[in-house]
Structure formats: C-alpha cells, structure tokens
Amino acid sequence: MSWVKDRDPEQHEFHQAVQGVLDTIGPVLERNPGYRRLAVVERIIEPERVISFRVPWMDDDGQVQVNRGYRVQMNSALGLYKGGLRFHPSVNLDIIKFLAFEQVFKNALIPLSLGGGKGGADFDPKGKSEGEIMRFCQAFMAELYRHIGPDTDVPAGDIGVGKREIGYLFGMYKKLGNEFTGAFTGKGLLWGGSLIRPEAAGYGMVYFAAEMLATRGKTLEGRRCLISGAGDVALFAAEKVLELGGRVLTLSDSTGFIYDEQGLNLDKMAFVRELKNIRRGRLAEYGERYPDTVYVPCDPRLDYNPLWSFPADCAFPCATENEINGKDAARILAGGVDLVCEGANMPSTPEAVELFLEHKIFYGPGKAANAGGVAVSGLEMVQNSTHLAWSREEVDAKLKVIMKFIHQSCLDTACEYGMPENYVAGANISGFIKVARAMVELGLI
Ligand code: NDP
Ligand code: 2IT
C-alpha cells in the first residue's frame, strides 16, 4: 500500500479499493509464493493504459466549454476491456481508476471472459439541453473512438450515462468508423441492445440478496427495505424487491430522500420513473404527490445520512461510492437490518464494511452483488456477434443463473480459505485468482 500511495498520493478512492482487495488476498499469496517474484499484485494495481483527453464542445449560448475525458484500460488478461462510462462533475482520474480496478475483479467473477476498464468525464448532464448533451457526447467520442472497438474495449453506461447518452455516443462511433459493430452495450433495442440490460444490475443485485437469504432458509417476503438512489440500479432493484414480496420504504437522489412508511407500490414506482427518467425532476415532488410520506432534503452539516436510520430488515445502497460511513453502518445495525447488499460500486466505507463483517450480517459487496449489469452486457455482446435477439425471459433466466453462480463461487471460495460466509473475501479471492492465473500464463507483457 505504501508503494501505491507514494505513486499517486491524491488518489484516495483508488487506495481504498486497492486496500480492500489487498486486505483479503494474503492467503492466496502464501499459497503461491511465485506471485511475488512475478510482481502479479503490482501489475494488477497498475493500469495497462490510461487515456486522458480534452473534450471541447459548444453550449447553447455559443460559448465553448472544456471538459476532461478518461478511459482507464485496467486489465485485459481475461478478455477485452469492459466497463461503463460515468458523466458526473466529481469524475477525475482517481474515481475512474477505482472503478476500473473494481471492474476487473467483478468481471472475473462472471462466467464470461472479460477484462476490465472504466471511463467518463467531469461533465454534468444536469440542467443541460438535449442539444448540449448530444454535442458533448459527440465531442467525447471524437477522441474515444480511436481507443475502443468490439474486440478491444466495449464501454457501457454508469452514473449520468443512460440509453440517451449511449445513443449519441454510439451514433458518433458508428459514423466515425463507418461500421455498425457491437462496440457498446446498453444500446437501444432498435440498434442492437439487449432486453433486460437496463434492469440487470438492480434485478441481479436482488437475486444475489435472495441467494444469501436462502442459505439460512429465508426470503425477501415481507422484509422492509431501505434503498438509496433513484437511477436505473435503484429503481429496478425496487421493482424486483416488490415482485419478490418485499417492502420498499426509501429512495433518494442527490438532493434528498423519501421515506414512505406504507411502502412504494407499482403506481408510486410509475410516478417516480416518470419523474426521474422523463421529467428528470427531484424526489421532493414525491413528497408533494404523496403527503403521507416524509421528504428529507440533504443536510451537508450532518456527518451521517438519516435514510439509513429507519428500522428495517435490508439495506440496498444503489447511489454512489462511500454513501454509507461508519455512523450510518452503526445506525443500520441498530435499526435491525441483517442484510446489506450493494447495487452501487464501493458504497460502504472501510469502517462500515468492518462493522458489517464484525456483526456477521449478510453482506454482499458491490463487485459481486451488482455484477448482473456487466453480465447482461456480456450477453448483449453474444447476441450482437451472433445477430440474434433473445427474449426477456431468456435473458432474465440467464441473469438468474449467473447471479446464483457468482454467489456460490464467493461462498465456496470464502469457505476454502477459512472465512466462511465472508462474501468480501470470497469475491476478492475468486476474482484475484482468475486474473492472476491468466496473467502468469500470458507471460510478462
Ligand atoms: P444513475 O445515474 O441512473 O443514478 C444514480 C442515482 O444516484 C441518481 O438517483 C443520483 O441522483 C444519485 N447520485 C449520484 N451521485 C450521487 C451523489 N454523489 N450523491 C448522492 N446521490 C447521488 O446511475 P446508476 O443507477 O446507473 O448507478 C448507480 C450506482 O450503481 C453507481 O455506483 C454505479 O457505478 C453502479 N452500477 C451501475 C451499473 C449500471 O449498469 N448502470 C452496474 C453496476 C453498478 P440524481 O437523480 O439527483 O442525479
Ligand atoms: O459498474 C458496472 O459494472 C457498470 N457500470 C456496467 C459495466 C458494463 O460494461 O456493463
């Protein structure tokens, strides 16, 4: 870690992600002493390639704006670079490196051969016109197109990049290359997308939670669930929780959260979808539409998020990194939660993770629990390369099988390495072993 920190002292999220993995892979290094001489760990930590570029574009007033774009091609030992693009003002090299690092291990857990990468820009899509979004996406792709391709690097969405942005990005890629290839996933259904891709991370996360509960003969039926976020991952997770008989009490966006003691139902979900996806509004409107609910605006003076303080059985963080700190974790436990499953990437701080592990609750780390998104991206690539389009039922059935497989490998690996039911160790060790073995077999490249 001191080597990692000395090289890039400012990259705190990246350090956190690396530390999380290093904390658990000691037993693998003991069993494979040769990995030290081959510097396998150092090579996994160092990105294969970092691309950083200028994105100049013109806003609606004719003013030229300049943003920064990134693609971190982290590791291609298992396959082409695969991972999403994030457009958010907080994006910097640190954030993209942490996400790319997590993606390598996540992709290694799914039963498809995919390497890992991540990209994005410090562009804020909020408040931008349709024309500005399109011009930004085109300007971003004017550079990124030369670094990606269906056999090299296949991006997808993440925060701030949904079907609309992927449309403009893919459209520009197609024009520049004069080729219609599967160089993106999360595409629209008319132009090569897969059914269930938008749902996949949220549905898959809930399937993972159901698998964890099933190990002790439990189900989601009647369970009170706290969910953060109101994007694709959160809303499809909420939909699946409802389908499996659970109760959804909360949702949040970047301005605040709602607590609905009666629980959301399909009508309320339809309202939120229209509000967030079509009108791109704020959850405060939910509080106005359903007066029996509580809307709590974000309070930057608080060092905890009151969303996590309500009595509940499950917590599903689906918004962003480090959204659950040690204080939140203590409140989650005090409220009776016995299952935390992560839709977001690295949403729990190290202090929170430590508390969850210490209390031996069900804890599904993001790199295992939210892998359904990239897994269905992989299925989209299979459909593209065979020119087939599978039905909803077919894709959903495959997603379920994949989540069951990931859950079982985490469980088996954790057991094999003497840490039964520790999904953090299970996920990190399973992913690490697969990538490390491939790197050794491919030689020093
Ligand atoms: P979206 O952009 O669709 O939604 C993100 C949601 O989180 C929005 O409700 C947003 O609020 C809120 N949010 C974002 N940043 C912050 C912040 N800094 N503070 C508070 N709230 C915030 O993204 P996704 O649903 O796709 O992604 C959510 C998480 O899931 C991310 O961690 C992502 O990396 C991860 N993930 C995504 C996958 C995918 O395929 N999309 C797959 C696996 C994981 P607002 O509505 O105000 O913008
Ligand atoms: O974090 C993630 O796994 C994603 N944003 C999805 C990546 C993908 O390539 O589908």
Confidence tier at 152 by pLDDT (50, 70, 90): very high
Q: CB within 6 Å of ligand 1 — which residues? A: 84, 157-160, 162, 201, 229-234, 253-255, 276, 318-320, 343-345, 370, 373
Fold of 47-184: Rossmann fold (3.40.50)
What is the structure's pLDDT at 325? 98
Residue ranges per structural domain of the chain:
47-184, 200-369
Same fold flag, 47-184 and 200-369: yes
Could you report the per-residue pLDDT of 187-212, keeping only the tens digit for each? Answer: 999 999 999 999 999 999 999 999 99
Mean pLDDT, rounded, for 281-289: 94
Q: Which CATH class is domain 200-369?
A: alpha beta
Mean pLDDT, rounded, for 237-264: 97
Confidence tier at 104 by pLDDT (50, 70, 90): very high
Contact 313, 337 (CB under 8 A): yes
Could you report the per-residue pLDDT of 304-342, keeping only the tens digit for each? Answer: 999 999 999 999 999 999 999 999 999 999 999 999 999
Residue 269: is it exposed, middle or buried by C-beta count within 10 angstroms (0-12/13-18/19+)?
middle
* Ligand 1 atom at shortest distance from the alpha carbon of 346: 32
Query: How far apart are alpha carbons 45 and 42 in whole angstroms?
Result: 5
Could you report the per-residue pLDDT of 6-47, keeping only the tens digit for each? Answer: 999 999 999 999 999 999 999 999 999 999 999 999 999 999
Mean pLDDT, the chain, rounded, equals 97
Q: Measuring from atom 30 of ligand 1, which residue has the nearest CA?
A: 344
Residue 381: is it exposed, middle or buried by C-beta count within 10 angstroms (0-12/13-18/19+)?
buried
The one catalytic residue in 82, 97, 118, 367 is 118
The region of weakest confidence among 286-290, 304-308, 373-377 is 286-290
Q: Is the dihedral of CA 139, 183, 82, 196 positive or negative?
A: positive
Is 5 an annotated catalytic residue?
Answer: no
Give this prediction's pTM: 0.98
Mean pLDDT, rounded, for 153-160: 98
Å from CA of 157 to ligand 2 middle: 6
Pocket test for ligand 1, best of 254, 302, 374 (most atoms within 8 A of CB): 254
